[in-house]
Structure 1
Amino acid sequence: MRLAECTLCILLATQVSVTAGLDPRVLDVDKEKSRAKPGSRMTSRDRDTIHNWVSWYASEGPGASGKSKLGLRQPINREPKYFHEPSGPGGGHYDKRYFRRFIEEKQRNQHLKYLIRAWLEWTQKQNIETWLAHGTLLGWWWSSEILPWDSDLDVQVSEATLKNLAETYNMTTWSWAFEDGNVKKDYLLDINPYWTDRQRSSTSNLIDGRWVDKSSGLFIDITGLSETHPDSRPGIVTCKNMHRYHVNEIYPLRPAQFEDYQAYVPYAFDKVLIQEYRSKAFTLTEYDKYQWQPALNTWVKKENLQPRKLVTLRNGKKMKIKEDEPRGLEAVPKPTLMQNLQRLVRYWQ
Structure 2
Amino acid sequence: MIKEINFEKNLEKNAKRLKLKNHKLAIGEMAMEPPVRKQGEPKYFPGHYDGRYYIGFVTDEERQRTLTHLVRAWLQWTQSQGIETWLAHGTLLGWWWNNRILPWDTDLDVQVSETTLKSMAENMNMTTWTYNFEEDNFQRDYLLDINPYWTNRLRGTAANLIDGRWIDKSTGLFIDITGLSQTHGVTRPGVISCKNLHRYKTFEIYPLREVKFEDFKAYVPNSYEKILIKEYRSKAFTNTEFSGHDWQPAIGSWVPKTRFEPHRLYRLRNGKMMKIKIEDPRGLEAVPRPSFWNLLWRLAYW
TM-score (norm 1): 0.67
SS at match of 2:176: strand
Instruction: Say yes or no: does 1:76 pair with 2:17.
Output: no
TM-score by length of 2: 0.77
2:264–2:277 contact (8 Å) kept in structure 1: no
Equivalent AA in structure 1 for residue 129 of structure 2: W
* Matching residue's letter, 2:50: D
Alignment gaps of 5+ in structure 2 = 1-31, 269-275, 281-302
Q: In 2, distance between residues paired with 1:76 and 1:102?
A: 37
Aligned match of 1:123 in 63, 78, 103? 78
The answer to whether the 8 A contact 1:210-1:220 is kept is yes
Q: In the superposition, relative to structure 1, how do residues 330 and 209 fare at CA in structure 2: closer, same or farther (>3 Å)?
A: farther
Contact 2:107 2:174 in 1 (8 A): yes
Partner Cα separation in structure 2 for residue 104 and residue 250 of structure 1: 35
Residue segments in structure 1 that go unaligned for 5+ positions in a row: 1-69, 86-92, 308-321, 334-349
The yes-or-no answer on 1:324 pairing with 2:258 is: no
Equivalent-residue separation in structure 2 for 1:72 and 1:292 (angstroms): 59
1:279 corresponds in structure 2 to: 234
Q: 2:117 aligns with which of 162, 168, 171?
A: 162
Return the alpha-carbon distance in structure 1 between the equivalents of residues 255 and 175 of structure 2.
Answer: 24
Following the alignment from structure 1 to structure 2, what is the Cα–Cα distance between the partners of residues 79 and 179? Answer: 42
Structural mapping, 1:333-348, within 5 Å: none
Instruction: Determine which structure has more spread, i.e. the larger CA radius of gyration.
Output: 2
Work out the CA distance in 2 between the residues paired with 1:273 and 1:72.
Answer: 47
Size of the alignment, in residue pairs?
A: 242
SS of the residue 1:97 aligns to: coil
1:134 paired residue number: 89
CA distance in 2, matches of 1:326, 1:172: 57
1:288 offset after TM fit, Å? 1.8
Cα distance in structure 2, aligned partners of 1:273 and 1:79: 31
CA distance in 1, matches of 2:49, 2:67: 12
User: Separation in 2 of the partners of 1:293 and 1:215?
Assistant: 33
Q: Aligned Cα RMSD in Å?
A: 1.8
1:100–1:129 Cα change, 3 Å: same
CA distance in 1, matches of 2:39, 2:161: 15
For the pair 1:262 / 2:217, whether they are aligned, the reply is: yes
Equivalent residue for 2:161, pick from 206, 227, 231:
206
For residues 147-202 of structure 1, the C-alpha deviation after alignment (integer angstroms, 9 at most, x for no partner) is: 00001000000000000100010011111111124321111100001100001111
Structure 1 residue corresponding to 2:142, chosen from 187, 202, 217: 187
Shift of 1:231: 1.1
Q: How does 1:137-152 map to 2 (within 5 A)?
A: 137-152=92-107
Q: Distance in 2 between matches of 1:71 and 1:122?
A: 55
2:15 counterpart residue number: none
Q: Identity over the aligned pairs, expressed in percent?
A: 58
Q: Which amino acid in the other structure matches residue 109 of structure 2?
A: D
Q: How does 1:219-230 map to 2 (within 5 A)?
A: 219-230=174-185
Conserved? CA contact 1:305–1:330, under 8 Å: no
